[in-house]
Structure 1
Amino acid sequence: MSLIFNKPLTEIIKDRYSVRNYEDKALPKNLTEEIENYISKVDNPFKVKVRIHLIKKDTYKDVIKLGTYGVIKGANYYLVSACEKEEFALEALGYTLEKVILYCTSLGLGTVWLGGTFSKGEYAKAINLKENEILPIVSPVGYEGGKKSLLASLMADHKNKRKSYSEIFFYEDFNTPLSSEVAGEYSEALEMVRLAPSAMNKQPWRIVKVKDDLHIYNSGKIDMNKIDIGIALCHLNLYMNEKGISGEFKVTNPNIESKYKYVISWIRNK
Structure 2
Amino acid sequence: MKLSIPVAETIQKRHSVRTYENKPLLPQDRDALLECMKQLDNPFGASVHTYIIDQKLKADGEKLGTYGIIKGANTFLGVSIPNIELAPLAAGYEFENLILLATHRGLGTVWLAATFKRDGFVFAMKIPRDELLLAISPVGYPAAKRSLTETLMRSAMKSSSRKAWKELFYQADFRTPLTEDLAGDYAQPLEMVRLAPSAKNVQPWRVRKTQNAYHFYVDYKSGLSKEEEIIKQVDLGIALSHFHQTVLELGLTGVFEQMPQEDVKIPENIHYMISWRIGE
TM-score range, shorter chain: over 0.9
Q: Deviation of residue 226 (structure 1)? A: 0.5
Letter matched to residue 265 of structure 2 = E
Number of aligned positions between the proteins: 263
Q: What do residues 161-219 of structure 1 show as CA deviations (whole Å, max 9, x unaligned)?
A: 11100111000111111111111111111000000001111111110111131011111
The match for 1:107 is 105
232, 242, 252: which one aligns with 2:239:
232
Q: CA separation in 2, counterparts of 1:41 and 1:220? A: 32
Query: Normalising to structure 1: TM-score of the pair?
Result: 0.93
CA contact (8 A) 1:110 1:142 kept: yes
Q: 1:258 and 2:263 equivalent?
A: no
Give runs of aligned pairs for residues 32-71 of structure 1, distance below 5 A. Answer: 32-58=30-56, 65-71=63-69
Q: Structure 2 unaligned segments of length 5 or more: list them.
A: 222-228
Q: Deviation of residue 28 (structure 1)? A: 1.0
Letter matched to residue 99 of structure 2 = I
CA contact (8 A) 1:207 1:214 kept: yes
Q: CA separation in 2, counterparts of 1:56 and 1:178? A: 45
Q: Structure 1 unaligned segments of length 5 or more: list them.
A: none
Q: CA separation in 2, counterparts of 1:264 and 1:137? A: 22
Q: Deviation of residue 46 (structure 1)? A: 1.1
Q: CA separation in 2, counterparts of 1:148 and 1:213? A: 42
Q: Deviation of residue 151 (structure 1)? A: 2.5
The match for 1:172 is 172
The match for 1:139 is 137
Q: Deviation of residue 5 (structure 1)? A: 2.9
Q: CA separation in 2, counterparts of 1:190 and 1:236? A: 6
Letter matched to residue 202 of structure 2 = K
Q: 1:11 and 2:21 equivalent?
A: no
Q: CA separation in 1, counterparts of 2:159 and 2:181? A: 24
Q: CA separation in 2, counterparts of 1:258 and 1:194? A: 21
Q: What do residues 67-112 of structure 1 show as CA deviations (whole Å, max 9, x unaligned)?
A: 2110000000111111111111111111110000001001111100
Aligned-residue sequence identity (percent) comes to: 40
Q: CA separation in 2, counterparts of 1:197 and 1:16? A: 9
Q: CA separation in 2, counterparts of 1:132 and 1:115? A: 18
CA contact (8 A) 1:72 1:149 kept: no
The match for 2:185 is 185
CA contact (8 A) 1:52 1:80 kept: yes
Query: Normalising to structure 2: TM-score of the pair?
Result: 0.90
Q: CA separation in 2, counterparts of 1:42 and 1:129? A: 18
Q: What do residues 92-135 of structure 1 show as CA deviations (whole Å, max 9, x unaligned)?
A: 11111000000100111110011111111011011212221111
Q: CA separation in 2, counterparts of 1:159 and 1:242? A: 26
Q: CA separation in 1, counterparts of 2:52 and 2:34? A: 7
CA contact (8 A) 1:21 1:145 kept: yes
Letter matched to residue 246 of structure 2 = Y
78, 81, 84: which one aligns with 2:82:
84
Q: CA separation in 2, counterparts of 1:27 and 1:4? A: 21
Q: CA separation in 2, counterparts of 1:126 and 1:50? A: 18
Out of 187-196 and 139-148, give the one that drifted further.
139-148
Q: Deviation of residue 147 (structure 1)? A: 4.3
The match for 1:249 is 256
CA contact (8 A) 2:56 2:73 kept: no
Q: 1:268 and 2:258 equivalent?
A: no
Give the 3-state SS of the residue equivalent to 1:39 in structure 2.
helix
Letter matched to residue 126 of structure 1 = A
